[in-house]
Every structure is written in structure tokens, then in C-alpha cells.
């Protein structure tokens, strides 16, 4: 399955690597905590808003989470 915006799944280290609509997951110590689609990006604060498929919105901060790009579509975990 193709990844969001043509990018391969993998670690994202800064807000500048994100784009609205990109599918991400947030992990702490390698453990999955949240998955969703990027809504808004705030690089000066090192955070962004994401929304899960169930409609839950969450602020994700790079200081607290490891952020990973994930494959889009129904087979994405």
C-alpha cells in the first residue's frame, strides 16, 4: 500500500517533515499511543494537531512522542 503523500513509512523527527493529511502514529518508548491524520502544524512550538479515524483530536508534541509516518488506507495499522 502506498504511504501518505508518496513518502515511505518511518520516523519523523521535526514538524517541518509533516504535511496536513499525512497519516501518523505517536509512540512513547516504542509503544503505540495514538494514530491519525495531521490537521494543523505548529513548528515554532514543536507540536501538531492530529485526528483519529474515530474523530478524536489530539495535540502531539515532539518532546513527548516519537512520531512515525504510516501507510495510508484500510491496511494501515
Domain boundaries, the chain: 4-69
Average pLDDT, the chain: 87
CB contact at 8 A, 25 and 3: no
pLDDT at 71: 78
Q: Please determine, for residue 22, whether its predicted confidence score (pLDDT) is greater than 50.
A: yes
**Please, what CATH class does the domain formed by 4-69 belong to?**
mainly beta
How many DSSP H helices and E strands does the chain contain? 0, 6
More confident: 3 or 34 = 34
Split at pLDDT 50, 70, 90, the class of 69 is: very high
Q: Where does residue 23 rank: exposed (0-12), middle (13-18), buried (19+ CB within 10 A)?
A: buried
CB contact at 8 A, 50 and 41: no
Amino acid at each position: 500500500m502506498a504511504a501518505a503523500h508518496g513518502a515511505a513509512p518511518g520516523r519523523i523527527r521535526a514538524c517541518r517533515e509533516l504535511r496536513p493529511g499525512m497519516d501518523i502514529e505517536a509512540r512513547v518508548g516504542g509503544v503505540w499511543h495514538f494514530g491519525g491524520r495531521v490537521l494543523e502544524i505548529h513548528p515554532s512550538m514543536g507540536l501538531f494537531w492530529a485526528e483519529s479515524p474515530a474523530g478524536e483530536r489530539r495535540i502531539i508534541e515532539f518532546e513527548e512522542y516519537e512520531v512515525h509516518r504510516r501507510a495510508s488506507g484500510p491496511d494501515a495499522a
